[in-house]
Structure 1
Amino acid sequence: MKTIAFSILFMLTSITACTQEKKDNSPDVLLKKKTIKSVPFLTKQNDFIYVDKTSLKAVTNQKFRTASLLTPTGFAIVENDKNEYAAIDENGKIVLDFSASEINLNVINGLTFYKRELEYVKKMPIWKWEWNILGGGIQKEKNYHNIEIGVVETKQILLHKDVPYLDDSYYLNFIPVDENHIFWNGTLYEIKKNRLNKIEHNITELLENKRFIKASNAGFSLYELNHKKPIHNGLEGVETLSMQFEKETIVLNEINKERYTPEVPKLLLDSETNAVYPFPQYEKVFPKEITKATAKQIDFIRKTTLVYSITNSPYFLLGVFNYDHAIWAFDWLYIDTKGTVVDTIDTYNFKVMDQVGNLVWPDRKMILPNRYMDKNWKFGKINSYEGMGDLYIIPIEDEQQFRTKGLWNRRQHIWEIKPEYHEISVLNTENQIYALQKEQGGLYALYDNKNIQYIGSKAYQSINSDGLVTVKLNAEQTIYYYIDICSGKEYKEN
């Protein structure tokens, strides 16, 4: 855990599209696109079958205990009556055999990656027994995970490993670098004929613009895809910044200090040039001299403890934490690469999130200025997801300590959804589809914010972004099935 931990949010969540998909005109991806016409349908017998989305006619005669939506590449996860899982294609053909291992799928760059995972108890050799000195017996067994990760289309296995339950696990967190390259588990892969070929390994951190960082005993080196020589070599982590202002040298100690040492320090120093490259993209040099600043700004800078590079801009973010319990947030200034200090800057597509995904910058006062709020309001942690642009979910507590949430438009200074709801769940950012819960413990209703209207006439115990909903029939029975979150159409037999 970190004392005040921060990270830049580039992809906070995967939000399912309704009827539109993000366009990718690369030839490789165009060849792999499919038009998915079928959807899992719940029958009166509580089985799932796959039907045509439009006609609702069965496309196969197979029945499953549970079934998932098909991926954009045409694969789904199903479960039989023996609690076994398999992956099938759009024609019902099994592509990953039924077994007790749970299966997850993720599509990146037109390829379908799978993870099969099985928890089991492993008997340990005598030299690995754990003896309880307080008389609690001998632990002769340990929980393990058997994990397999690979590519569905080619059956290529990227990892097959048994790991202790409490040790590091492995995830389908593949990141596209471009249409022909993928980053995963510290390795950069090139895609050729639907297979992944390693071209770089031991990568410590992936950056934007096809750049990455490697660590060694000599320090940190910054590379760019398809370039063998590093852009910067022998960089070392520092927690101190120094700047010249007129005749004074301002030294900032313990910048971006964290309780535990990160894999890549937040400041990297080139010892040959004394250039310092700040987190998160390490793409530009922090100014060595302050060329323009007021006395008040200089006093602020002397107390600075947080420095971030604002990507796709000439600015760096300077933060001083305000320990006033009524505020308990950062105050901000900005300095550009030429050393000019300013109080405010234009809006950039850049957000600073805390460790649990709450928004830190831009802060509440930037998003919802005081002149637009009730003077008695208190605020919780603001949330924003990739693709939401200038829309923010803001929790509010009024003078009666009644808590609600609303959807605020920062640019237009209006409530898109008034703060009258206990919960607002983001289902689809592109089409602005939300699930609204009026009261705690109440049902969720679908809401189309673009057209300012509710979708359908039903409400549910829960609504997932993929359209999976929960309906409580009575005190003992709950059912699950799919809906189209953009139209409210239910895929269930009446």
Structure 2
Amino acid sequence: MKPLTNQAFKNASVFTPTGFAVVENEKGEYAAINDHGKIVLDFSSSNIDLNVINGLTFYKKAVEYEKKMPAWKWEWNILGGDIKKEQTYHKIEIGVVETQQVLLDKDIPYLEDNYSLNFISVDENHVFWNESLYEIKNNRLNQIDKNIVQLLENKRFIKASNEGFSMYELNQKKAIHKEMKGPETLSIQFGKETMLLQEVNKERYDPEVPKLLTDYKTNDVYAFPQYEKVFPKEITKATASQIDFIKKVSLVYSITHSPYFLLGVFNYDHDVWAYDWLYIDTEGNVTDSIGPYNFKVLDQIGNVVWPDRKMILPDQFINKNWKFGKINSYEGMNDSYLIRIEDQKQLRTIGLWNSITKAWEIKPEYHDVSVLDAEKQIYALQKEKDGLYILYNHKNKKQIGSKAYQSINSDGLVSVKLDPAKNMYYYIDIESGKEYKEH
């Protein structure tokens, strides 16, 4: 608790692992300082965000302003006669704090602002950002490839062109698969019958990369999410009922790190309103079930679709009066799932269930369970609606500290109510519960 600098700030963030923090002065201006208190990004009206990837600190500076537009871009209000001669713009700058390298400096319309600090580590010497691949040398980024629309596992990526989609591997100039297309249909042979699946992986909005890709030379079909193995052209083993099911299939995903593909048929029964599943391997063998794999299918807002509730929490472990809500699981949680339940009294609770041990790790007795650190198994638990949150270490099954808060964020920012109209905010260490505030 010793001051790093005599300078005081109106607000300040926690330091990044690389030793930088965002501060605000009394004028409402923002800057970035290092862990000696020295300013490394000067004060300005631009908001500053920081993100650390591969040991480098990336920053984003953004400020909103009104820009005067040429006459042909004025917006006319035909009812009121008003003319809007200005348009809201964002001035965006993104770069590397350590070297002051600027990667992007643009003025763009507010509605087109889609630049963020979503840098992804490919390996220790490469990062992916803004549809480009960069090599890191001397803490500077050098662009080595572009027009990349999807990053895959094992240092592979997909590039888009007018000819279609091509798959590459890092440091390989020749494409693994070239000029792949998104097929409108998927055909599969069973004996003498050719089944044509016409409604596979259809979505409300077309994804940037189709969920199925066909190699034009071989007609091999590769499936989302990793496009790593060929979908079988022929079914070699299946029952009559399985064939009937496959004719209605609307979802085909590749289950990564396995020989299987996931086949889904949506059940529109309002009591069910979920998918039914079968599986097919690369040899064309169809099966009703497979062993456990650390693979999850999420819907567009992040809820778990597969494995479904009955696979995760079988009926023999539930109260017959329970109804179920959305299921969530985050990276690092492995076989643990947050499951929402409504009982016969319409009381809604949430608990943490382990699908391997078939046991509640956190009983469904809480109004809210918030994941603060999945790998370290630190959670925030709220017993009742509008109640306070406590810190909980699931590894040792103990509460962290003795305090309770109105809210707890994963970075340690907490709030406590001083009076009905005012909250106080400060930081804590979520691993120990230690509070960092002036007394």
Specify the TM-score bucket, using the shorter chain as the normaliser.
over 0.9
Other-structure match for 2:130: 185
Deviation digits for residues 230-257 of structure 1 (CA, Å, limit 9, x no counterpart): 0011211113111111221111112101
- Which of 353, 356, 361 aligns to 2:306? It is 361
Displacement of 1:135: 2.1
| Range with greater deviation from structure 2 (56-65 or 455-464) | 56-65
1:292 counterpart letter in structure 2: K
Deviation digits for residues 119-143 of structure 1 (CA, Å, limit 9, x no counterpart): 1111212221111112251111111
Other-structure match for 1:255: 200
Other-structure match for 2:389: 444
Structural mapping, 1:33-432, within 5 Å:
56-432=1-377
Alpha-carbon contact 1:483-1:489 (below 8 Å) kept: yes
Cα distance in 1 between the residues matched to 2:386 and 2:219: 57
Cα distance in 1 between the residues matched to 2:174 and 2:435: 56
Other-structure match for 1:50: none
Cα distance in 2 between the residues matched to 1:293 and 1:184: 44
Cα distance in 2 between the residues matched to 1:175 and 1:467: 24
Cα distance in 1 between the residues matched to 2:6 and 2:183: 63
Displacement of 1:450: 1.0
Cα distance in 2 between the residues matched to 1:335 and 1:419: 35
Alpha-carbon contact 2:294-2:335 (below 8 Å) kept: no
Deviation digits for residues 339-368 of structure 1 (CA, Å, limit 9, x no counterpart): 011111121121111111111111111110
Cα distance in 1 between the residues matched to 2:193 and 2:328: 40
Cα distance in 2 between the residues matched to 1:317 and 1:476: 52
Structure 2: runs of 5 or more not aligned: none
Displacement of 1:166: 1.1
1:310 counterpart letter in structure 2: I
Cα distance in 1 between the residues matched to 2:204 and 2:401: 50
2:117 counterpart letter in structure 1: L
| Range with greater deviation from structure 2 (235-244 or 113-122) | 235-244
Give secondary structure in 2 for the equivalent of 1:98: strand
1:367 counterpart letter in structure 2: I
| TM-score, normalised by the number of residues in structure 2 | 0.98
| TM-score, normalised by the number of residues in structure 1 | 0.87
Displacement of 1:258: 1.7
Alpha-carbon contact 1:319-1:332 (below 8 Å) kept: yes
Cα distance in 1 between the residues matched to 2:107 and 2:225: 34
2:134 counterpart letter in structure 1: Y
2:291 counterpart letter in structure 1: D
Give secondary structure in 2 for the equivalent of 1:166: helix
Identity of aligned residues (%): 72
Cα distance in 1 between the residues matched to 2:309 and 2:136: 43
Alpha-carbon contact 1:317-1:333 (below 8 Å) kept: yes
Structure with the larger RCO, 1 or 2 (CA within 8 Å, 6+ apart): 1
| Range with greater deviation from structure 2 (211-220 or 324-333) | 211-220
Structural mapping, 1:435-474, within 5 Å:
435-474=380-419
Deviation digits for residues 101-152 of structure 1 (CA, Å, limit 9, x no counterpart): 1000000001000000001111212221111112251111111111000000
Alpha-carbon contact 1:239-1:257 (below 8 Å) kept: no
Displacement of 1:288: 0.5
2:155 counterpart letter in structure 1: K
- Which of 433, 443, 449 aligns to 2:378? It is 433
Give secondary structure in 2 for the equivalent of 1:237: coil
Cα distance in 2 between the residues matched to 1:253 and 1:292: 22
Alpha-carbon contact 1:380-1:395 (below 8 Å) kept: yes
Structure 1: runs of 5 or more not aligned: 1-55
Other-structure match for 1:489: 434
Displacement of 1:380: 0.6
Other-structure match for 1:25: none
Cα distance in 2 between the residues matched to 1:271 and 1:147: 41
Other-structure match for 1:17: none
Alpha-carbon contact 1:68-1:76 (below 8 Å) kept: yes
Alpha-carbon contact 1:239-1:267 (below 8 Å) kept: no
Alpha-carbon contact 1:368-1:410 (below 8 Å) kept: yes
Aligned length: 439
C-alpha RMSD over aligned residues:
1.0
Displacement of 1:259: 2.5
Displacement of 1:271: 2.3
Give secondary structure in 1 for the equivalent of 2:242: helix
Deviation digits for residues 55-98 of structure 1 (CA, Å, limit 9, x no counterpart): x2223222211111111111111111111111000000000001
